[in-house]
């Protein structure tokens, strides 16, 4: 049996007819940029995410950058980000001219530890950017409390957690402006690059719409220095199709996670994902941890099982961020996660047989390597 880390086979074949129809309609519409599909997607996604406004943009990184910008983050500010995240979170801060300030995650949830945020706040701190890593909501009520106490903006990185909740409230609806990604491999993925800003502030949404389109509201009249960060009509059309299935696909991800946990919870050698009692998890990734990570990954690969490491190098140790002056040991929890985490296959359409096969191979590995 070979099991890829990620497969679109099942989800693609489910929507194939609708996608081909949509493409034909798009092709004949001759409306390729900023048309009615994008407007329809923005309305539908707002309903899904329970927010007042969605602004469709080019990708997740641009969504985060524009969110920071409309939240008022500027050159010279500091923005608090988790020390274990995908590089895009940190790049978005850098693009604004602000400095990223890292805060260690909780070792159980892998999300930013809200009790460690206060110590990182300085006179320059402007915002906190929590990342709902792997699909589990951060401790949003605790983060909002710290933000309110110090008058900071919250901008969520919701790229991995479409549909996740904290105390019943959806991720992407807490911050003043929040960014999400529809990169193909995300839980809600386009057929190319796409992203969105979600907000409950209509004036911020309006500013984001101006910024994404050359700083222009009326064609050839430019109010400010804007960007070309628009979402294509075609991607909006594709996302509208997938949006109808996302809740079912999230249920499937949870079922797969449950199967893994049932098969593996008695195995003392690995740390399984832990979901906080106030959080829900949409399992963008199913991440286990073991000090024997590299050997396990090789073993599974030899058995035909694809895995990935999210992420092998934390941002503070990336060459690109050498100038911040951190070194090995600066953020020991992030570094420990980077050296022990392994993401197992999880995608809608995966069968119990496939999960059992993977789990049994993991058990075999530890029997041989204990």
Ligand X SMILES: *Cc1c(COP(=O)(O)O)cnc(C)c1O
Which residues inside 306-365 make contact with ligand X, applying CB under 6 A?
A: none
The nearest distance, CB 261 to ligand X, in angstroms, is 23
**Phi-psi map region of 329: left, alpha, beta (phi>0 left; psi -120 to 50 alpha):** left
Q: How far is the CB of 59 from ligand X (least distance, A)?
A: 4
Minimum separation from the CB atom of position 359 to ligand X (A): 26
Q: What is the DSSP letter of 155?
A: -
Q: How far is the CB of 63 from ligand X (least distance, A)?
A: 7
**Strand ranges inside the chain, DSSP E:** 53-57, 78-82, 99-103, 125-128, 153-154, 165-166, 169-170, 178-181, 195-199, 216-218, 221-222, 286-289, 341-344
Which of 11, 41, 49, 60: binder of ligand X (CB under 6 A)? 60
Half-sphere exposure at residue 345, Cβ-oriented, CA atoms within 13 angstroms: 26
Positive or negative: CA dihedral 66, 71, 73, 77:
negative
> What 3-state class would DSSP assign to 281?
strand
- Interacting positions 191-250 with ligand X (CB under 6 A): 193, 195
**Using the rule CB under 6 A, is 190 a contact of ligand X?**
no
Cβ nearer to ligand X, comparing 45 with 86: 86
Q: Which is nearer to ligand X, 81 or 296 (CB)?
A: 81
**How crowded is residue 268: how many other Cβ atoms within 10 Å of its Cβ?**
8
Minimum CB–partner distance for residue 20 and ligand X (Å): 25
Nearest CA among 175, 227, 182, 180 for reference residue 201:
175
- Single out the residue of 59, 83, 171, 340 in contact with ligand X (rule: CB under 6 A): 59
Q: What is the DSSP string of 69-133?
A: HHTT--TT-EEEEESSS-HHHHHHHHHTT-EEEEEPBPTTT-SB-GGGTGGG--TTEEEE--B-G
From 35-43, 59-67, 112-120, 317-325, span contacting ligand X (CB under 6 A): 59-67
Among 67, 85, 137, 173, binds ligand X (CB under 6 A): 85
Q: Draw the binding track, 144-163, toward ligand X (x: CB under 6 A; -: no contact).
A: -------------x-xx---
Return the residue nearest ligand X (CB atom): 60
Select the residue interacting with ligand X from 41, 48, 65, 86 (CB under 6 A). Answer: 86
Interface residues with ligand X (CB under 6 A) are 59-61, 85-86, 88-89, 131, 157, 159-160, 181, 183, 193, 195
């Amino acid at each position: 049996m070979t099991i890829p880390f990620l497969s679109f086979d099942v989800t693609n074949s489910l929507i194939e007819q609708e996608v081909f129809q949509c493409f034909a309609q798009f092709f004949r519409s001759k409306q390729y940029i900023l048309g009615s599909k994008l407007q329809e997607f923005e309305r539908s996604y707002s309903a899904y995410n329970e927010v007042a406004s969605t602004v469709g943009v080019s990708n997740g990184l641009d969504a985060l950058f524009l969110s920071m910008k409309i939240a008022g983050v500027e050159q010279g500010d500091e923005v608090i980000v988790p020390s274990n995240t995908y590089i895009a979170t940190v790049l978005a801060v850098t693009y604004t001219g602000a400095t990223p300030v890292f805060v260690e995650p909780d070792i159980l949830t892998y999300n930013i530890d809200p009790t460690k945020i206060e110590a990182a706040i300085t006179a320059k701190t402007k915002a906190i950017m929590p990342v709902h890593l792997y699909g589990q909501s951060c401790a949003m009520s605790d983060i909002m409390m710290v933000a309110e106490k110090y008058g900071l903006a919250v901008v969520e990185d919701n790229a991995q957690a479409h549909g996740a909740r904290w105390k019943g409230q959806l991720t992407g609806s807490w911050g003043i402006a929040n960014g999400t990604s529809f990169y193909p491999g995300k839980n809600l993925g386009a057929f190319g690059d796409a992203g969105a800003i979600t907000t409950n502030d209509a004036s911020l949404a309006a500013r984001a719409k101006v910024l994404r389109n050359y700083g222009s509201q009326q064609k050839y009249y430019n109010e400010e220095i804007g960007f070309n960060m628009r979402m294509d009509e075609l991607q909006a059309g594709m996302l509208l199709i997938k949006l109808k299935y996302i809740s079912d696909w999230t249920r499937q991800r949870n079922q797969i996670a449950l199967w893994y946990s049932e098969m593996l919870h008695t195995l003392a050698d690995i740390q399984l994902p832990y979901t906080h009692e106030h959080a829900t998890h949409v399992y963008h990734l199913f991440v286990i941890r073991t000090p024997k990570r590299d050997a396990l990954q090789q073993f599974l690969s030899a058995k035909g099982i694809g895995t990935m490491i999210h992420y092998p190098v934390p941002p503070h140790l990336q060459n690109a961020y050498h100038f911040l002056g951190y070194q090995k040991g600066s953020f020991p929890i992030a570094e420990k996660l980077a050296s022990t985490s392994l993401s197992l296959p999880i995608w809608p359409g995966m069968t119990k047989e496939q999960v059992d096969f993977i789990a049994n191979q993991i058990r075999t590995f530890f029997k041989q390597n204990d």
